[in-house]
Amino acid sequence: MSMEKLMERGDVRTVGQIMEAPTPIAEAAGLLDVIARAVRDPAVDIDKMERLLAMQERVMAENAKRAFNAAFRSAKAEMGPVLKNKTNDQTRSTYADLEAIALLIDPVIDRHGFGMTFGSGPSDKPDHYRVTCDLLHEEGHERHYSADVPADNVGIKGNQNKTATHGFGSTMSYGRRYLKLLIWDIATTDDDDGQRAGRQPAYEMIDARQCAEMRKLIADADTTEEAFCDYIKVGTLPELAAANFARAKGVLTKRIAALKGARA
């Protein structure tokens, strides 16, 4: 069968075999080797090679999308609700701030090969900012999200309570917080009574060695285990999620460094 017929059928592997590729043409390196040798062969139709390259790009994009979707499902399965840790005095309501959300889900996001980058853009709605987020995966696929958020520079009664700069920063923080929750479909909850009563959390907890390390850091940070558990919203220290160990450790390490600096 001629090379042109094979190209019309899209039989990539057979084309690769005809051109004696050292590896399957589905592999990027093998394809580049085939192309490098093909351009040196005057008998090879370069137009057909361009079509072959386009075909390979489609295959690679589809593989990256599949890897993204599989990693997303796995990461989502590890994420539980975020406990609300802040109170809005104006609305008399509670919420989970950006730090609490990051403490829970950022280690999971990193472990599954994702990265999130936030920005802003023009909004079609008056007195709104558009908050954007690119969710990137290490295999190359990405998704883009946005939310139009009202400018947070007035109080509940409509009186201005922030400067324009402060209002922009507050709006961006609000938008990032809610985009994270929306992208990963994360709930927030006030109820931690079940964990305090001994209900088993639905995640892997830190082991005995990590728990002992945390207790030493707590002592060095001049605080108490109870106070630290209240801060990170767990019933007891052994209930700390293993995925959050590094970040919780970082909180204590920063406090210890600050204490040392103050004493110097």
Task: Supply the pLDDT for residue 200.
Answer: 44
More confident residue, 1 or 165: 165
Q: What does pTM read for this prediction?
A: 0.56
Q: Is pLDDT at 5 greater than 70 in this prediction?
A: no
Among candidate residues 195, 128, 133, 201, the one with its CA nearest the CA of residue 168: 128
Q: Is pLDDT at 3 greater than 80 in this prediction?
A: no
Q: How far apart are CA 187 and CA 181, in angstroms?
A: 7
Helix (H) or strand (E) holding 128: strand 128-137
For the chain, the average pLDDT equals 78
pLDDT tens-digit series, residues 214-260 = 999 999 999 998 888 888 877 788 888 888 888 889 999 999 998 98
pLDDT tens-digit series, residues 71-126 = 999 999 888 888 888 887 766 788 888 888 888 888 889 989 999 999 998 999 98
Task: Supply the pLDDT for residue 2.
Answer: 40
Q: Let me know: does 48 contact 4? Beta carbons within 8 Å.
A: yes
More confident residue, 53 or 227: 227
Q: How far apart are CA 257 and CA 52, in angstroms?
A: 57
Q: Is pLDDT at 156 greater than 90 in this prediction?
A: no
- Read off the pLDDT band of 31 (50, 70, 90): low
Q: How far apart are CA 47 and CA 36, in angstroms?
A: 14
Question: In the structure, how many helices (H) and strands (E) does the chain have?
Answer: 10, 7
**What is the full DSSP assignment across 67-126?**
HHHHHHHHHHHT--PEEP-EEETTTTEEE--HHHHHHHHHHHHHHTTEEEEEEEE--SST
Task: Supply the pLDDT for residue 162.
Answer: 63
How many Cβ atoms sit within 10 Å of the Cβ of residue 191? Answer: 10
Could you tell me the two tokens for 223?
A: 């605080």
State percent of the chain over pLDDT 90: 27
Any idea which residue has 């590094």 for tokens? 246
Task: Supply the pLDDT for residue 188.
Answer: 87
Task: Supply the pLDDT for residue 160.
Answer: 63
Mean pLDDT, residues 10-20 taken together: 41
State percent of the chain over pLDDT 70: 76
Could you tell me the two tokens for 93?
A: 């309501």
Mean pLDDT, residues 145-169 taken together: 72
Any idea which residue has 């840790």 for tokens? 85
Q: Let me know: does 18 contact 3? Beta carbons within 8 Å.
A: yes
